[in-house]
Amino acid sequence: MILNAALSDRRRAPFMHVLPCCVMMSSGFLITGLTSAAIPTMIGQFLILVGSYSMIGPLWSISTAFFTGRSAAAAIAAMNTIAILGGFVGPYWMGFAKDLTGDYQRGLLLTAPFMLFAAAIMLYLRAQSNRSLICVPVSGD
């Protein structure tokens, strides 16, 4: 977590440090969902945990690429609210998937595309951030 956050700060590229974490988590969900053997499941869980914890620092710095001052605080609050909602809905999703199918593997498999969707959002936000840096309006006096 600290290494990824430090590299993100040094390179000033939080989007590119969140993107691999999303892909890592997606592959961890796929590995865990496709097998029931102990070693691959542990590797998948490891990828999920490393990806999740590694993205925390760069993820929370993304809002300052678009907002400053009070609006940045509101953006961070909105991100926190979405994260809390995910922490609430996620366990219910896994329970629903287990009740529906009898095991957790289908729920894990269906969670993987959401992480790839998050990676696509990071690519989109990176493009928007680069566009806003290029097309900065200049106020004329």
Residue 74 tokens, joined: 């509101």
| CA 119 and chain centroid, separation | 7
Taking the C-alpha atoms of residue 132 and residue 49, their distance in angstroms, rounded to an integer, is 33
Do 119 and 23 touch, CB atoms closer than 8 A?
yes
Tens digit of each residue's pLDDT (9 = 90 or more) over 74-106: 988 998 999 899 899 989 988 998 898 888 888
Taking the C-alpha atoms of residue 17 and residue 13, their distance in angstroms, rounded to an integer, is 7
Helix 2-11 and helix 14-34, axial crossing angle in degrees, nearest 10? 140
Q: What percent of the chain has pLDDT over 90?
A: 35
Tens digit of each residue's pLDDT (9 = 90 or more) over 120-130: 988 898 888 77
> 3-state DSSP call for residue 137?
coil
Residue 62 tokens, joined: 């993304």
Do 57 and 1 touch, CB atoms closer than 8 A?
yes
Give the per-residue pLDDT at 39: 96
For the chain, what are the domain ranges?
Answer: 2-121
Burial class (CB in 10 A: 0-12, 13-18, 19+), 15: buried
Rg (the chain; Cα; Å): 18
pLDDT value at 6 more than 70: yes
Give the per-residue pLDDT at 140: 47
